[in-house]
Amino acid sequence: MKRPHATPATSGEHLLFTVLISVAVHAVIILGVAFTHEPQPPAAPPALDIVLTHRGTDSAPEDPDFLSPANQDGAGNTSERVRPVNPPAAPAGEPLPGTGQRLRAQHTPSPPTPRKETPALSTERPADFHTTLNPPVDTPAKTASAAELIRRSRELARLSTELDEPVLVHTREPRHRFISARTRSFRDAVYLEAWRQKVERIGNLNYPEEAKRRGLSGSLILDVALNPDGTLHSIEIRRSSGHKILDDAAVRIVKLAAPFAPLPPDMRRDTDILHITRAWQFLGNNRFISGHY
């Protein structure tokens, strides 16, 4: 007995059934995998590099290394390219009023925001596949505006200028007074005469031997400056004798005669440095005198 051949309708049903089974298997494999949404970390706010300078220059450098509110040429004690550093601030004992809390508030890092875990995407039924996303959350802006950055840089520049402001100390210049052999003041004449006698005595005792052997003679003008206590302040040759031996001998005689008598109180009232300008004469008979010029 022969089996009946399959009809075309029966073969089509088999093919359709096979396709449905294949689609169902692929759907289970694809949709059965759970997806997890990982949030991206927030991007770091752009940093603004600010360099504070105390005094700028008129011309801008051709190849600058840093950005700054004012033009400034580099300088220092190193050949390496390094970032300029502001001088240390005031001691920590007494901070400037109102600035410590404001600066601490600006530099205090904010606590990290806890990150919420996003539930994984799951599929319970292939036909009812839904994707659930977290609703957008408004986060406060962490980056400061350009106006705020400018205000902070100006505040820091003002504080740095106040800390670096030099303390001006008024110093009085010493009062110089010049006297010579032609002076008429009684107080000056008395002191000058005592000074002359001592210089001539020391000069004749220490007359230069080489000038004696060579028979040198000449005169020079010497300015001797004295401190109030009679010590030497300076020695200056106003006019040379033409012989280095005699010039050096005059300076040596002054140093040997020092220190001199202190200035009297009435002279100290208007004199801090007393200049005695006189002519020094080395005579041919091996004598030394000091007189007017």
Give the model confidence (pLDDT) of 92-132 as tens digits. Answer: 444 445 544 554 545 455 555 555 555 444 444 444 444 44
Instruction: Tell me the pLDDT band of 244, cut-offs 50, 70 and 90.
Output: very high
More reliable by pLDDT, 66 or 16 = 16
pLDDT for residue 246: 95
Instruction: Please name which of 288, 209, 203, 219 lies closest in space to residue 252, comparing C-alpha atoms.
Output: 203
Cβ atoms < 10 Å from Cβ of 110: 7
Number of domains observed in the structure of the chain: 1
> Could you tell me which residues come within 8 angstroms of residue 192 by beta carbon, excluding any fewer than 6 positions away?
179, 181, 183, 276
More reliable by pLDDT, 132 or 188 = 188
Least trusted range by pLDDT, from 11-20, 41-50, 224-233? 41-50
Q: Would you mind telling me the total number of residues written for the chain in this entry?
A: 293
In a domain, 4, yes or no: no
pTM check: above 0.85: no
In a domain, 210, yes or no: yes
How far apart are alpha carbons 64 and 185 in whole angstroms?
A: 66
**Chain center to CA of 117:** 50
Instruction: Tell me the pLDDT band of 157, cut-offs 50, 70 and 90.
Output: confident
In a domain, 274, yes or no: yes
Candidate ranges 27-41, 111-125, 173-187; pick with highest mean pLDDT? 173-187
Cβ atoms < 10 Å from Cβ of 195: 21
Question: For the chain, what percent of residues have pLDDT higher than 90?
Answer: 33
Distances (CA, A) of 193 to 134, 196, 278: 107, 5, 12
**Statement: residue 43 has pLDDT above 50:** yes
pLDDT for residue 121: 47
pLDDT for residue 291: 76
In a domain, 20, yes or no: no
pLDDT for residue 149: 86
DSSP 218-244: EEEEEEEEE-TTS-EEEEEEEE--S-H
> Could you tell me which residues come within 8 angstroms of residue 102 by beta carbon, excluding any fewer than 6 positions away?
155
In a domain, 287, yes or no: yes
Residue 223's domain comprises 176-291
Bridge-based pairing state of the strands 218-226 and 176-180: unpaired
**Chain center to CA of 233:** 36
In a domain, 189, yes or no: yes
In a domain, 207, yes or no: yes
How far apart are alpha carbons 207 and 288 in whole angstroms?
A: 7
In a domain, 84, yes or no: no
Average pLDDT, the chain: 72
Question: What is the mean pLDDT of the segment spanning 167-196?
Answer: 78
CATH number for the domain spanning 278: value is 3.30.1150
pLDDT for residue 55: 57
Candidate ranges 100-109, 169-178, 239-248; pick with highest mean pLDDT? 239-248
Residues pairing with 276 in the sheet: 179, 224
